[in-house]
Chains A and B, each alone.
Chain A
Amino acid sequence: MRPLRAAPLLTLLVMLGPVAAGLLGTLAPALGLFPALGGTGPSPAPFAALAAWPGLPGAVGLSVTTGLAATVLSLVLVTLTVAGWQGTRVMAALERALSPLLSVPHAAAAFGLAFLIAPSGWIARGLSPWATGWERPPDLLIVQDPWGLAMVAGLVAKEVPFLLLMTLAALPQAQPARRLTIARSLGYGRVTGWLKAVFPSVYAQVRLPVYAVLAYSMTVVDVAIILGPATPPPLSVQVVRWMADPDLTLRLPAAAGAVLQLGLVLAALGLWRLGEIGAGRLGRAWAEGGARRHGDGVARALGLGLAALSAGAVIAGLAGLGLWSVAGLWPFPDALPAGMSLTGWARHAPGLAAPALDTVWIAGAATALALALALACLEAEHRFGLSPGARSLWLLYLPLLVPQVAFLPGLQTFALVAGVDAGMGAVILGHLVFVLPYVFLSLAAPWRAWDARHATVAAALGAGPGAVFWRVRLPMLLAPVLTAAAVGFAVSVGQYLPTLLIGGGRVQTLTTEAVALASGGDRRAIGVAALMQTGVVVAGFALALTVPRLAWANRRGMRAA
């Protein structure tokens, strides 16, 4: 019984320990403490060097604008879609498309999008030369535009599925059907009624996921490298570049930049909170105004159209990459490759086999650990009547709110000092930091929603708490447990910076391979890597869906759980 009681504490330690250690490891060089480079006392030099970089205002501006724009757009899109279509067959179809969309790693989605929208991309090819007259690609700045619009589009396409998932999970507690029925009987339009009656309580629950989206969008590195501008790049990309520069003294402004990035995220979160308060005031006045309709039809169509567009872009982009992986020479403006061959796969797939295996092994181990810890926490909560407060939820989200570039480089140094060697073990623990929150969040709602009377009945039949857990609760909740595992698996597969920095380059996964290949721009190689990466994740989700059906082939009631 004792170890179970300690589970919540252990979970927090595993999750927040690395974040705290990493932040310390970043803060020290930012303040000039870096013995290997002769920095032994506090000094303002790192921040002075950062301030002297001429690209700083641009980089900071980009980080803030692209982050805020991607978050606002994603939230608006998800809200309009759910408001307009909740409870309809369209929504059910969207829900089915969610898992595959979630499983496409960010880098793969960004490549796909880049190939779609570039002047020599698929869309331009489809329209050329018959509609556009282009025999060669026009010299248009679409990908890597200085405002970061392409990057925002890439982020929105990937954040919408995540926010939609979180919104759908939060929805039942807001009792939308009843509220909407009342609102509609009072004559409110579908969208207006949903926004006025349901949205406030849904937003209160998705607030933390929205914050996570904001923090992520402001600090993303892989998507920014592929789609974002480079003159200057967003701050996080520049920090990683400084980290990687042969001039070792640049580690100091890099650390200062990482601290600044953390400050920016905190400031943006503060700004967002102010925006929430402002929007809340305005919203209340709007709700109390009593207007029944505000272009509901248009809002519905817009929401669905944009959601379909963003989902379609991810899927079409991936299809484009798939086609590239088997393409022979494919010059502009041909809409399809002249010839197909498997040479791309024959050339690149064997080299990716070992990283694929390591990817599965790392993701599997990190997910298993996360699942064990999350289940232990939830079970401890149940048995000892611990009540999870709002604060524990914040702690859970902390690893998702602190920018990766702010603590991972520090964590690398810290791990070396502590004597933990770079290797699979360290990478698994590093992934655990990011996998655990997602697993816990996916699992918590269904786990807590389980009807505790089942436990009472089992206890009355003589089962101890252990037997109740293993023989009643876990089997009944098999489907949500496996879904949480699939989500955790997907999160682990997509990790780029943690694998690179903690693994010391020795641990290679499909994601690190894909990003390394991306620097070469060989679309066939990128296509093979991106498809394999996505395939691994899709296999995880497929497994999570089929196992309960097979395990409960003769128990229909268990499958629905």
Chain B
Amino acid sequence: MRSIMFPAALGLALAAPALADPDPADWPSVLAEARGQTVYWHAWGGATATNDFIRWAGDAVEDRFGVRVEHVKLADTADAVSRVLAEKTAGRDAGGAVDLIWINGANFAAMKQAGLLFGPWAEDLPNWAFVDVEGKPAVTADFTVPTEGLEAPWAMAQVVFYHDTARLPDPPRTMPALLDWAAANPGRFTYPQPPDFLGTTFLKQALYGLVDDPAVLQQPAEAVDYAAVTAPLWAFLDDLTPHLWRQGRAWPQTGPRQLQLMADGEIDLAISFSPGEASTAIANGQLPDTVRTYVLDGGTIGNASFVAIPYNATAKAGAMVLADFLLSPEAQARAQDPGVLGYGTVLAMEKLSPEDRARFEALELGIATLSPDQLGPALPEPHPSWMTRIEADWQARFGVAR
């Protein structure tokens, strides 16, 4: 009975040596070092479509580059940030548990500020050459915070709303119209409870629809009259909340929860940060095929998803190889396929070879997905300080209402 006490993992992990960091500019040596490494990719595991995509990407880099990928499924991205922080607290500056994090916004800002990231490396990746740096400013400014090569983009997202045309054929296209519709149809709309990022995004989207001059949102909230700018938002929410699902006394805890609520017929309208999510959900049988998406008049917020490498990651070379693969036209085209993920690409079509461009042109976007023209230009994310303050104020006003 005693011989089966300890698995080898404990001993092995203790013996891991600290190596010099790989140099991303010397790509062949990165590839050589990466072979045989295992990359622990910490990524939110709440959506089955993304889990399937990550498994596919992991199989592909193992086949081609000999890099094994373990998807550590997080309920919250900040769990990985916590882990890196705990390691720094304990003085573990090498051999950390996290190799790659799916990250953006406040998590990135916090890690960058605390010096928890490895790099710069992202702009040295071979596939960086295809990235649409000029046309998509969000790939180098994450919620206005400059990425400085500390994270590599891999997907574009833009806010859309989806509605079941069988119950709601003509959805509201402005925030005031949304309020009128909700008042006339109580209990048929809700949004994820902040601090869920999608819930906070709804608040920011509402703010965009209600402020006079959206340009102030690009400055830190401390630099402007925060109370005056947000006053219309709180008035709007005070009016809206009693007409929400469950009278605003309970909230879905995440974005994908709304899919189930709509499939159950509990709500008629929901917000999403992925233009292809509804089509993907229809393909999976999670939503009826009468669901369609649309954007608000005046545009919706867009941002990019990134991957970053912690300063103490064990498999930095492997993590870079995986990040580079995610930027490849092959992976990007697959991610854009609504049958897979339906995420927007970060690449510039004109920088691609004709064969690679053909991969994108061949995609059927899906019955509920808007074309790039229909999506329209994305509004830039406000400075992260807005998110933090609006989130805190929302919680004080609506999050503890008992």
* Inter-chain contacts of A209 with B (CB < 8 A): none
A-contacting 9-mer, from B8-16, B122-130, B148-156: B8-16
0/1 interface trace, chain B 191-229, chain A, CB 8 Å (1 if under): 001010000000000000000000000000000000000
Interface hits, A350-404 → B, CB 8 Å: 351, 361, 364-365, 368-369, 371-372
Partner of A55, one of B40, B51, B90, B400: B400
* Inter-chain contacts of B399 with A (CB < 8 A): 55, 230-232
* Inter-chain contacts of B119 with A (CB < 8 A): none
- Cβ B263 vs Cβ A331 within 8 A: yes
Partner of A231, one of B186, B251, B259: B251
Partner of A423, one of B9, B82, B251: B9
* Inter-chain contacts of A516 with B (CB < 8 A): 45-46, 73-75
* Inter-chain contacts of A420 with B (CB < 8 A): 10, 14
0/1 interface trace, chain A 508-536, chain B, CB 8 Å (1 if under): 10001101110111111100000000000
Does B55 interact with chain A (Cβ within 8 Å)? yes
- A524–B49 Cα gap in the complex (Å)? 13
B196 to chain A, nearest CB (A): 9
- Cβ B266 vs Cβ A347 within 8 A: no
- A145–B402 Cα gap in the complex (Å)? 10
Does B232 interact with chain A (Cβ within 8 Å)? no
Does A413 interact with chain B (Cβ within 8 Å)? yes
- Cβ A428 vs Cβ B75 within 8 A: no
B-contacting 9-mer, from A133-141, A189-197, A435-443, A538-546: A133-141
Does A560 interact with chain B (Cβ within 8 Å)? no
Does A126 interact with chain B (Cβ within 8 Å)? no
Does B89 interact with chain A (Cβ within 8 Å)? yes
- Cβ B400 vs Cβ A137 within 8 A: no
Interface hits, A406-427 → B, CB 8 Å: 412-413, 416-417, 419-426
- Cβ B83 vs Cβ A146 within 8 A: no
Does B5 interact with chain A (Cβ within 8 Å)? yes
- Cβ A506 vs Cβ B72 within 8 A: yes
- Cβ B187 vs Cβ A424 within 8 A: no
- Cβ A523 vs Cβ B80 within 8 A: no
- A492–B336 Cα gap in the complex (Å)? 40
- Cβ B80 vs Cβ A248 within 8 A: no
Does A19 interact with chain B (Cβ within 8 Å)? no
- Cβ A413 vs Cβ B90 within 8 A: yes
Partner of A500, one of B77, B79, B92, B401: B79
Does B286 interact with chain A (Cβ within 8 Å)? yes
A-contacting 9-mer, from B134-142, B241-249, B351-359: B241-249
- Cβ B259 vs Cβ A522 within 8 A: yes
* Inter-chain contacts of B82 with A (CB < 8 A): 243-244, 251
- Cβ A505 vs Cβ B89 within 8 A: no
Does B91 interact with chain A (Cβ within 8 Å)? yes
Does A348 interact with chain B (Cβ within 8 Å)? yes
Tell me the nearest residue of chain B to A59, going by C-beta. Answer: B400
- Cβ B253 vs Cβ A424 within 8 A: no
A4 to chain B, nearest CB (A): 13
A-contacting 9-mer, from B106-114, B175-183, B361-369, B372-380: B106-114
* Contact status of A413 and B86, CB under 8 A, knowing A141-B249, A332-B265, A425-B10: yes
- Cβ A120 vs Cβ B264 within 8 A: yes
B248 to chain A, nearest CB (A): 9
- Cβ A522 vs Cβ B48 within 8 A: yes
Does A343 interact with chain B (Cβ within 8 Å)? yes
Interface hits, A27-48 → B, CB 8 Å: 34-36
Does A253 interact with chain B (Cβ within 8 Å)? no
Does B22 interact with chain A (Cβ within 8 Å)? no
* Contact status of A144 and B250, CB under 8 A, knowing A36-B89, A231-B402, A425-B6: yes
- Cβ B55 vs Cβ A351 within 8 A: yes
* Inter-chain contacts of B77 with A (CB < 8 A): 246
Interface hits, B285-299 → A, CB 8 Å: 285-286, 288
- Cβ A505 vs Cβ B72 within 8 A: yes
- Cβ A520 vs Cβ B110 within 8 A: no
- Cβ A248 vs Cβ B110 within 8 A: yes
- A241–B82 Cα gap in the complex (Å)? 11
In the assembled complex, 15 residue pairs joining A and B whose CB atoms fall closer than 8 Å, in A order, are A36-B88, A36-B89, A54-B400, A118-B264, A139-B245, A241-B195, A244-B76, A246-B109, A424-B10, A504-B97, A504-B98, A505-B79, A505-B97, A519-B75, A521-B261
B interface residues, Cβ below 8 angstroms from A: 1-2, 4-7, 9-11, 13-14, 40, 42, 45-48, 51-52, 55, 70, 72-83, 85-92, 95, 97-98, 106-107, 109-110, 114, 167, 186-187, 193, 195, 245-247, 249-254, 256-261, 263-266, 285-286, 288, 388, 395-396, 398-402
Q: A229-B402, A347-B48, A424-B10 are in contact. List 13 more A-B contacts (CB 8 A).
A: A36-B88, A120-B266, A137-B264, A139-B266, A232-B400, A365-B5, A365-B6, A416-B89, A416-B92, A419-B14, A422-B97, A517-B46, A521-B252
**Which 5 pairs from chain A and chain B are nearest by CB?**
A425-B10, A416-B90, A139-B187, A520-B46, A55-B400
